[in-house]
Amino acid sequence: MQQILFNGLVLSASYAVIALGITLIFSIMNILNFAHGQMFMVGGFAAYYVYGRFHLPFVVGLIVATIGVGAIGVLFEILFFRRVRRAANREENSILLAVGTALLLENLALFAFGEKERGVPDVVDGVLRVGSAYLPAGRILILAVSVALIAALLLFVQGTKIGRAMRAVAQDREVTLLMGVDIDRISAIGFGIGAGLAGLAGALLVTLSGVSAGMGTTITTKAFVMIMIGGAGVVAGSLLGAVVLGFAEAIGYALLPGSVTYLMIFLALIVFLIVRPQGIMGKPWG
């Protein structure tokens, strides 16, 4: 019981970083970042090389992952999404492009990093015992860092000028444009931060579950599940979604065979969405 609780906490916290990233991008730019899982994966590889191969401090790996993947996000927005927004007749093209970027990133990663699954040693060694639960020190670290990051991000979005601009764009794009805010710049920054969060999550979790070039789709699927539970485009909703998924996974893996766990989660999600299509905190469909 305590083990499930602890595992759930760790998973929820790290998943929340993923969910926040994709929510940010969706709320500001109305684009569903299909490449979010691939960005997570690239972040993981960055940490693998910096920390696992070059033996630099883990923190450096985290920073490189965040900035590197964030840069990729900005690049995607400037090179691809901006163009398609202006050129296409149909809005479906944004989704098509998002899928295309996922494919591109995954194949580039396969090419650059190879196909083997990689892992890194724990950042901190040792196991704590609390009751009947084992609390590996490495996981406590992941939990702590994730929570700190989420808090920092929330403060940023609430407190800073850019953060307020992002919230304004998310609320009402046209009005914000009329008020003189540089939407293009905000979009690029938003995509950059969202992507950076994905990369950061990937770097954090490489100590937990390793990284391989093909893991992107699974992570993207989890991100989708979280925002469907919580409500797309709503920050609080994404956090809620992360908590629900994290604990559902922890409980599921403890009690059910592996592939059945996610089958149950998906079915429960479908049933839930039938009852409440907009998620827990999403805006109701007009």
Partner 1 sequence: MGLNLTRSDARATAVLPVGASGEPRPRRNILALAVAVAMAAALFVVLPIGLAGQPYWLSVATNANALSVGALGLWLMFSIGRIDIGQAAFAAVGGYTTAILTTRYGLSFWLCLPLSATAAAALAAVIGVPILRLRGVYFSMITLILTEVTRLALLNGGALTNGAAGITGIPEAALLDTPLRFYLLSAALALFAALLTWRISASRIGSVFRSMRQNEALAASLGIDVTRYRVIAFALASGLGGLAGGFLAQSQQNIFPATYTISDSISFMLYCFLGGLDYVLGPLVGAYLLVFAFELLDALQRYQALLYGILMIAVILLVPNGLLSLGRSRTRR
Partner 2 sequence: MSSSVPVKPRRGVILGGALIASAVMLTVSTVAFADDILKIGVLGVMSGPDAAWGLVSKYSAEATAAMYNEQGGVEIGGKKYKIEIDSVDDQADPKLAVTGAQRLILQDGIKYMIGPNVDSTIASAQPIAEKYDVMMFSYSFTRSLFSPPHLNTVLGIIPGYQTGPVVFKYLQDHEGLKSVAFVVLNTAEALKQRDESVAAAGKLGLEVISSTDTYEEGATDFFPVMSKVVGGNPGLIVLSGVSPADAPKLIKAARQLDYKGLLEAETAQDINILDQVAGDAAEGFISLGGASTPEIQSDYMTSFIDHYKKIAGEWNDEAGTKAYALEMILKTLQKAGPAAIADTELFKKTIPDFSAPNPFIKGDQELRYVGEAYFQQKRQIGLPMVINTVAGGAFKTLFVGTVQ
- List residues near partner 2 by CB under 8 A: 3, 7, 52, 110, 114-122, 125-127, 134, 136, 208-210, 212-215, 253-254, 257-259, 261
Q: Which residue among 83, 164, 185, 283 contacts partner 1 (CB under 8 A)?
A: 83
Least separation in angstroms between residue 51's CB and partner 2 is 10
Choose the contact partner of 134 out of partner 1, partner 2, none; CB within 5 to 8 A by kind. partner 2
How far CA 12 is from CA of 7, 34, 150, 215, 265, in Å, comes to 8, 21, 12, 19, 15
Least separation in angstroms between residue 117's CB and partner 2 is 4
Local structure of residue 79 (DSSP, 8 states):
I
Q: Which stretch binds partner 1 (CB under 8 A): 39-47, 142-150, 156-164, 260-268?
A: 260-268
Q: Which residue, chain included where needed, has tokens 């923190």?
A: 59
Run of H or E including 128: strand 127-130
Instruction: Locate all alpha helices (DSSP H) within the chain, ordered by sequence.
Output: 2-29, 36-47, 58-76, 82-87, 92-113, 137-159, 161-171, 173-178, 183-209, 216-230, 235-255, 258-275
* Contact present, 43 and 69 (Cβ < 8 Å): yes
Q: Which CB, 253 or 272, lies closer to partner 2?
A: 253
Task: Based on the shown chain and the rule CB under 8 A, indicate whether residue 173 belongs to the binding site for partner 1.
Answer: no
Q: Which CB, 69 or 215, lies closer to partner 2?
A: 215
Q: Which CB, 33 or 66, lies closer to partner 1?
A: 33
Burial annotation 31-70 (CB, 10 A radius, 16+ → b, else e): bbbbbbbbbbbbbbbbbbbbbbeeeeebeebbbbbbebbb
Interface residues toward partner 1, by CB under 8 A = 26, 32, 80, 83-84, 87-90, 92-93, 95-97, 99-101, 103-104, 106-108, 110-111, 217, 221, 224-225, 227-228, 232, 257, 259-260, 262-263, 266-267, 269-270, 273-274, 277-278, 285-286
